[in-house]
Amino acid sequence: MKHENAVTATIGHFIAGKHVEGGSRVQPVFDPATGTASRSVALADKLTVEAAIAAAQAAYPAWRNTPPLKRARVMSRLKQLLETHADELCALITAEHGKVLADAHGELQRGIENVEYASYVPELLKGEHSKNVGPSIDSWSEFQALGVTAGITPFNFPVMVPLWMWPMAVACGNTFVLKPSERTPSSTLRMAELALEAGLPPGVLNIVNGDKEAVDTLLTDPRVKAVSFVGSTPVAEYIYTTGCASGKRVQALGGAKNFAVVMPDADIDNAVSALMGAAFGSCGERCMAIPLVVAVGDDTGAALVARLTEAIAKMKVGPGTDNGNDMGPLVTREHFERVKSFVERGIEAGATLVVDGRAVTVDGHESGYYLGPCLFDHVRPGMPIYQHEIFGPVLGVVRAGTLQEAMDLIDAHEYGNGTCVFTRDGEAARWFSDNIQVGMVGINVPLPVPVAYHSFGGWKRSLFGDLGAYGPDAVRFYTRRKTITQRWPSAGVREGAVFSFPSSR
């Protein structure tokens, strides 16, 4: 499969192993570094999505019966191809998202690790067997594929988040329809081409670009058995409610407002270095970003703000294609304006704007969506910049008197995705990690994103459903357990009817 089809003026879809057109509506795809659009993306209508579902359904019987080891070998070849084409994929990510190339490579590597984990599927799908659970009766369980599954993924990780989903889904014997963000479609389509090159049969993975019409079709079509989603909480809740009402298994990861706690005994220099990347990496467009820091004690807060201010002054903002830059642009003009409005609302609410990034300009890229890092002090509960997920380079410092007070602030927030504490006190760290009401916790680690062989997922309104993404939870999500009990009576033995409930007595 040649890549030229994926870089035409209008980006289409990938169905049954081929690039296809579909849908009369299109929208532009922008380069956020320049604010210009050189291409557009077709938005799939209902018929196009149904064609992708039909292709996945047609491919399912043969793929389900393909030995797990053969499916695993496709994943191994895909891993190699993703590594070989890393520069190409990361250039596509940066061109449409804006993140710096080093960050794009980090995204891709974390995605590749999930492909590698999926290549262990023969071991992961092994069931359980018990001999002689009753007289001459054996029992075992096995994990069977669901059928056609689907994923809906966000703009900020156009390669990594899809790789959280479809590799494990297809390794388990399912087929897949993926709807990536229409803002960043190119790298996802290129990844699908590489999957075909790796030996994935046509129709096992299908890509449809689109908006709510495509989403609603996936959520309501009875041929789709399970849906995975990553995005904002309002949409996650809609996905979960609508999908469940249609009888589907749904896993919907929503928004976040992640807090870091800095204790008086913390190594401030190391904490600041960690927080800079966590707050401003990828321009803050991460669900695991740190937008709020709770400083325990006024002295801690003063030292933290002073060191953060110094570090921010050294940051370089510019096009993501220049790895000398620390931060690229925001993804769209609309999002740029939204994040700027939160800075204004923070000032109006009474927070102290210590560093104002709104005046940042990049020579030669004046139309790009650049917002410099912003730092607020004296942020309090109830302020818009405290309550809402901003998804931009805005960091707020909150003051607290004790660790318990800091934990109470975190526990009271509606989100519970990720959190971390910086301290040298093992007792405090253990108390924090054991009692905080958040799904992913870091101890002196600002972005506690689990590795591929653990699972990713928050608590409260950061996750709808009872299973997280990737890792062991993905095997459980994309399969269902079947338990089989068998008996082979001895030849010539005639048995009478038994009316009591069967037991091993």
Nearest to 185 by CA among 6, 333, 364: 6
Cβ of 234: how many Cβ atoms within 10 Å?
A: 11
Going from the C-alpha of 262 to that of each of 177, 217, 299, 388, the distances in angstroms are 43, 46, 11, 21
C-alpha span between 27 and 322 (Å, rounded): 28
End-to-end CA distance of the chain: 62
Phi, psi of 73 (to 5 degrees): -65, -30
H helix runs in 172-328, sequence order: 186-197, 212-220, 233-245, 268-280, 298-313
For the four alpha carbons of 494, 495, 496 and 497, in that order, the dihedral sign comes to negative
- Cα gap 137→155, rounded to integer Å: 53
- What torsion do the CA atoms of 410, 411, 412, 414 make, to the nearest 10 degrees? 90
Distance, in Å, from the CA atom of 105 to the CA atom of 22, rounded to the nearest integer, reads 31
Residue 83: in which H helix or E strand, if any? Answer: helix 68-84
* H helices present in 436-480, as ranges: 471-477
Length of the chain counted residue by residue: 505
Q: Which residues are catalytic?
A: 287
Tokens, residue 39:
């291409």
8 Å CB contact between 438 and 478: no
Q: What is the SS3 assignment for 207?
A: strand
Give me the phi and psi of 356, to 5 degrees please. -110, 110
Distance of alpha carbon 123 from alpha carbon 104, whole angstroms: 31
d(CA 493, CA 505): 20
Give residue 90's Cα distance to chain centre.
17
The conformation of residue 373, written as its DSSP 8-state character, comes to -
Share of the chain residues as helix, strand and coil, in percent rounded to the nearest 5: 40, 25, 35
